[in-house]
Structure 1
Amino acid sequence: MSKSSGTYSTSDLSRKSGDIIAEAMSHPVTITQRNKPRLVLLNIEDYRRLRGSADKRAVGTIDTMPDSLLGEFEDAIEAYADSDETVQP
């Protein structure tokens, strides 16, 4: 059962995939399963735009951290520990 908001069930997708894909070319379309959103279909330009604006931060470890950043990190920990010791309950 389709809805005007661009939401279709997985059954709709099986029966009307061409129409749903055509709609997804102009705006994102949500696919539901058991009345819960499960997938979003969107055109490649929107996908690339979203990927381009994604968070570019990388995960690392202390071993891969630059020495200058590690020093700042250690200083911040010491400052926090010192301030915690001066607080009276």
Structure 2
Amino acid sequence: MTSSTGSYTTSDLSRKSGDIIAEALRHPVTITQRNKPRLVLLNIEDYERLMRQSDMRAAGTLETMPDALLAEFESAVDAYADSAETSR
């Protein structure tokens, strides 16, 4: 693939690693395998910015939800159900 798109194949990566790394220092570069995007190379500043912006909260289930939050959630669902019934 061409460097103007910022996308390379895994074969390109093995043949042109220096050029691809140099480009990745300027902007993110996509690495494809079998015509599907598989990896993104980006400079450390962009990576650190993304990590700072990411939401680090963990996903859970109703069973693992704290009791106070579960009660708040149930109240909100009940209130929504009540308002949906009265609007009919």
| The two structures share one fold, judged by TM-score above 0.5 | yes
- What are the residue-to-residue correspondences of 1:1-89 with 2, within 5 Å? 1-62=1-62, 65-80=65-80, 82=82
Measured at CA, do residues 70 and 36 of structure 1 come closer, stay the same or move farther in structure 2, by a change above 3 Å? closer
Q: Displacement of 1:13 after TM fit?
A: 0.5
Task: Give the aligned CA root-mean-square deviation in angstroms.
Answer: 2.3
Count of aligned positions: 88
Q: 1:11 to 1:75 in 2, by over 3 A?
A: same
Give 3-state SS (helix, strand or coil) of 1:4's partner.
Answer: helix
- Please give the TM-score of this superposition, normalised by the length of structure 1: 0.73
1: CA distance between counterparts of 2:83 and 2:15? 64
User: Percent sequence identity over matched residues?
Assistant: 73
Distance 1:29 1:8 in 2: 8
Q: Give the TM-score taking structure 2 as reference length.
A: 0.74
Q: Specify every segment of 5 or more residues in structure 1 that has no aligned partner in the other structure, as ranges.
A: none
